[in-house]
Amino acid sequence: MNRLVQVAIALLTLLGGSYSTSAAPPDPSPVIVIQNATILTVTKGTIEHGSILIKDGKIAEVGSSVKAPKDATVIDAEGKFVTPGIIDCHSHIAIEGSVNEGSISVSSIANTADVLNSDDIDIYRDLAGGVTTANILHGSANSIGGQTVVIKLRWGQPASKLPFEGALPGIKFALGENPKRSNFSVPGQPKRYPATRMGVEETIRAAFTEARDYKNSWDAYNKKVSGGDKTALPPRHDLRLDPLVEVLEGKRYVHSHCYREDEILMLLRVAKEFAFKVRTFQHVLEGYKVADELAAAGVGASTFSDWWAYKVEAYDAIPYNAALMTKRGVLVSVNSDDAEEATHLNQEAAKSMKFGGLTHDEALRLVTINPAIQLGIDKRVGSIEVGKDADLVIYNHDPLSAYAVVQKTLVDGRVLFDRDKDIAGRATLENEKKDLIAKEKAAAKKPEEKSKRPDEKKPEEKPKPPSEEQSAVSANGGAQ
Amino acid sequence: MSTKPIGGFGRDFPDSLMGVLGYEHQVFVDTDWLTRSLAAYEKNPKGTARPRYDRTSVALADAQQAHAIVLISANSTLELRRALELADRWKLNAAIYGGQAGYEVADELAAKKMPVLVNLKWPEAEKDADPDQVPTLRTLRFRDRAPSTPAAFVKSGVKFAFYSGDTANPKDLLKAVKKSIEAGLTPDAALRALTLTPAELFGVSDRLGSIDKGKIANLVVTDGELFNEKTKIKYVFVDGKRFEIREPEKPKDPPKGDITGKWKLAYTTPEGAEESTADLTMASDGTISGTLSSKRGNATILSGYLSGDHFTFVININIGQNFADVTFAGTYDGTSLKGNISVEGYSIDFTGSKPSGASSLAERVNFGQGDVR
């Protein structure tokens, strides 16, 4: 049944909805009241037959009785469930071009924030699965990968409006098979360093040694300047090392891809040596083996519900990972790493009730407040509380049920996904598409009519194969 | 300045869009640093460490001081907005080239006073596209609306000029302009975008771009409105020198048979045996049109005819640094072609036959949509 629901959601989201990418500022945020709902606040229990008042994009009131202003838009959620918007701590949606700058082992000069693709249909599809915030990570091809950015899924807004205001930026690290390119080397082509786990550690150590020296040169310069030296020349800014200095200064989060316990402990040792913090371990499929060490180091774990054995280093994965780590005091989230998986993270969280016996609330936390804390945005999102952003999801069933389907998703108090409207609007979009295809075909035929051949009086009106004019020319068209 | 991934920095860095942008940010940071450091060093060279010399930064700094225009490649909505951000971030005297999704962001471009060079090779359906690939609505809308960009630019006040881009053939150029006129651009504005505006953008409007006393005599003489389909160009003046446009020769006799079809042409060049495919269409008066494709590329037939059993057709291809006319002439006996190919005084024999349809797939694999020149 779970699969069926997944397929249904996938189909539902396949067509997508509004395609507009207007740059105009959105309409002033409407005043909305959601009434008669079962409200799963995550941090303050469950309210039956409760209401939520939304003003200026924020949650203004929550309770069993809320005064609805006259001008408020009322959403009757009788029999429905409201949760905070789902937060995906590991996503690669909305990136234009390659997710990896794989040419070098330390690609911290690259930044996913530079290439946000606000037109990516996966934004809309993930909204349809209840996701409202996502951590947009660089890939795992490099020991130290690119800079990362937390976005809100503000479908319809330009790329510059996607980043989560005030969220600390991050950087992707990766350990194990991916950065050492175990499964990706091409015969005959030279291997990129590193090719072993030892090399991965050395790469990180070398980069931070360099960053420390670089930081010292800036500290020395700043000292000179503050001491009144007016002739001092500033060091050259190195955009590869700047993010690492920010890591050393606690101004940038480290999100490290990893699988095995040994590499997890390795990075904890290196971090201790250079006095920086790892904010989250990503995947961390053997986290249950070192849960105490993770808890002691205060490092978050963002894992899969039950993906396993897709490569050697993932053989020891167990679906109890999230629950076991939670019970040992680790802050755990469940992530998608995949645009489709993200559309049912509520169900992925629910699996930890079956595997490991987490409570309903504990399970829900895995995709709401826990990732919010991991990303340092829990003051704004992750639970339904007065003053927090009105990022909300309305489900037809309990979100941890396999039957739950998203009805509406709100971001900043605006309904950005509405299942009924989506279904109602599909015919219009399909017709527009048909019309445009027909128009192209008609235009393509014109020149043929002009040049009549000698022996044919009138060319037979043969319908062309539908394929001729249909192609997947990318949106940037002819310009190379 | 291209924001497309390219190779060749260290170990093929950058090979992603975000790597390209990271690299470009670094280049501008370096330029800024070098400019400041050199100035500081010049003031006080004694006892100061000499700034690291970097050829790229020095060249870029010089260009910036000369207020050189920085051309940024941007065609989609995303790219256009990104180009605006880059120009802001690095305080560039920038212009965009591409610009075809400009109809979506015309107001934003106007607000930043960003000039745009508009690529006249409008996006269109790929001829040999995968039959199973249905384009997205976004792509269809883009192909439909791109030619309305110039009109949107006029409305919003974006300064723009046209450029040929990948337009295959000189005669397609005015056709492409005409498309934007059909989509709302006035002929006057279109003409300006082909003359005075580009001259202004590149700082040569004191000598080019308009008919004015003392300006260089680069002129076009037509027998009607420039953008009228039936209009013929009579003369082109370059530096005051007149060039006459010759009408292609008309067939003298009615054609014997129909030369229409896909022909395999075989010949031997100094580099060995070669083949090309001629896809010919003949009109009732014997006029031949079509395309030629070989491993050297694709070309459109500029003029051609079948007069009696004698055929001639001409293509123009890139030979080394220059473009040259290549003439195919000979006789058609109803089933095969026989004749010679001449280019710049050099001539070789060729034969042509009609293969059965089976080879068409192989042709497609070999000759995609390459440069049609």
> Residues B226-262: pLDDT tens digits?
998 888 888 999 999 998 877 767 778 889 888 999 9
Q: Give the tens place of pLDDT for each residue, B263-280.
A: 999 998 888 888 999 999
pLDDT digits (tens, 9 = 90+) for B126-148: 878 887 888 999 999 999 999 99
Q: What is the pLDDT of residue B29?
A: 94
Give the whole-number percent of chain A exceeding pLDDT 70: 87
Mean pLDDT (whole number) for A268-284: 98
Which chain A residues contact residue B130 at CB under 8 A? 467, 471-472
* Contact yes or no for A436 and B260 at CB 8 A: no
Q: What is the pLDDT of residue A95?
A: 97
Structure confidence at residue A463 as a pLDDT band (50, 70, 90): very low
At residue A455, does pLDDT exceed 80? no
Is B5 within 8 Å of A98 when comparing Cβ atoms? yes
B41 to A471: CB separation less than 8 angstroms, yes or no: no
Chain B CB contacts of A21 below 8 Å: 77, 104
Interface touch A471/B49, C-beta < 8 Å: no
Range in A91-105, A172-186, A443-457, B72-86 with the lowest mean pLDDT: A443-457
pLDDT (average), residues B325-347:
89
Q: Is the bond leading into A194 cis (omega within 30 degrees of zero)?
A: yes
Nearest to A288 by CA among A303, A278, A277, A269: A303
Which pLDDT belongs to residue A199?
96
Interface test with chain A among B1, B12, B18, B303, by most A beta carbons within 10 Å: B18
The answer to whether residue B111 neighbours chain A at the CB level (below 8 Å) is no
Give the DSSP H or E segment for B135: none
pLDDT of residue A13: 37
> What is the dihedral angle through the alpha carbons of B126, B131, B134, B140, rounded to the nearest 10 degrees?
20
Are B223 and B300 within 8 A, CB to CB?
no
For residues A76 and A469, the model is more confident at A76
pLDDT at residue A135, rounded to an integer: 98
Residue A58 tokens, joined: 């924020």
The dihedral built from the CA positions of residue A273, A277, A282 and A288, taken in this order, carries a sign that is positive
Chain A residue with the nearest C-alpha to that of B288:
A451
A276: tokens are 């920086």
Lowest-confidence pick of A104-118, A215-229, A371-385, B352-366 = B352-366
Written as one string, the DSSP assignment of B42-82 is HH--TTSPPPPP-HHHHHHHHHHHTTPPEEEEE-SHHHHHH
Nearest CA in chain B to A111: B18
Residue A43 is predicted with a pLDDT of 97
- Cα torsion angle, B106, B109, B110, B114, sign: negative
With an 8 Å Cβ cutoff, are B140 and A436 in contact?
Answer: yes
A479 to B121: CB separation less than 8 angstroms, yes or no: yes
pLDDT tens readout for residues A200-234:
999 999 999 999 999 999 999 999 999 999 888 88
Q: How confident is the model at residue A249 (pLDDT cuts 50, 70, 90)?
A: very high
Q: How far apart are CA B281 and CA B313, in angstroms?
A: 12
Question: ipTM of the assembly?
Answer: 0.86
The answer, yes or no, to whether residue A117 has pLDDT greater than 50, is yes
**Amino acid A446: pLDDT:** 65
pLDDT of residue A5 exceeding 60: no
**Quick one: average pLDDT of B313-325?**
79
pLDDT greater than 60 at residue B94:
yes
Mean pLDDT estimate for chain A = 89
More confident residue, A9 or B2: B2
Residues of A in contact with B4 (CB under 8 A): 480
- For residues A17 and A422, give the distance between their C-alpha atoms in angstroms, rounded to a whole number: 6
Cβ proximity of A73 and A432 under 8 Å: no
pTM for this one? Answer: 0.81
* C-alpha distance from A472 to closest chain B C-alpha (Å): 5
What pLDDT score does A460 carry? 41
Chain B hits for A429, CB-CB cut-off 8 Å, are 137
CB-based contact B165 A479, cutoff 8 Å: yes
What average pLDDT score do residues A158-171 get?
Answer: 97
Tokens 């402990």 -> residue: A265
B140 touches A at CB < 8 Å:
yes
